[in-house]
Amino acid sequence: MNATQYAILAYAVSFILIGGFAMWSWLEHSRLTRSGRGRGGF
């Protein structure tokens, strides 16, 4: 692997982590709010 490929790998890994976390948060959040049991956010 050359330097460019390593750079692509690094960004891919980072974006997967961020995207995964954001997606999970979003799903969890909408699941919790839709279930209607949630009271008061902050």
Partner 1 sequence: MKSARVRIVGPVYGIVTFCLLAAVTGMMVWWTPREETMGDVQKVFYIHLPAAINTFVACFVVFICSVMYLLQRRSWWDDLGFAAAKVAVLLASIVLLTGMIWGRSAWGAWWQWTPRLTFSLILWLLYVVYLMIRPSIESSQRRALICAVYGVIAFMDVPLVWLSTKLLPDIHPKTISMAPEMRLTLLAWFVPMTMLAAGLIVTSMRINRLQRAASEPAEELDEPRLVPAGGQA
By the criterion CB under 8 A, which residues form the site for partner 1?
1-4, 6-7, 9-11, 13-14, 17-18, 21-22, 25-26, 28-30, 32-42
Query: ∠ at Cα 27 (37, 35), nearest 5°?
Result: 20
Residue 10 beta carbon to partner 1: minimum distance, rounded to whole angstroms: 4
State how far Cα 1 lies from the chain centre.
Answer: 28
Whose tokens are 């750079």? That residue is 7
Alpha helices in 1-42 (DSSP H): 3-34
Residue 38 beta carbon to partner 1: minimum distance, rounded to whole angstroms: 4
Residue 39 beta carbon to partner 1: minimum distance, rounded to whole angstroms: 4
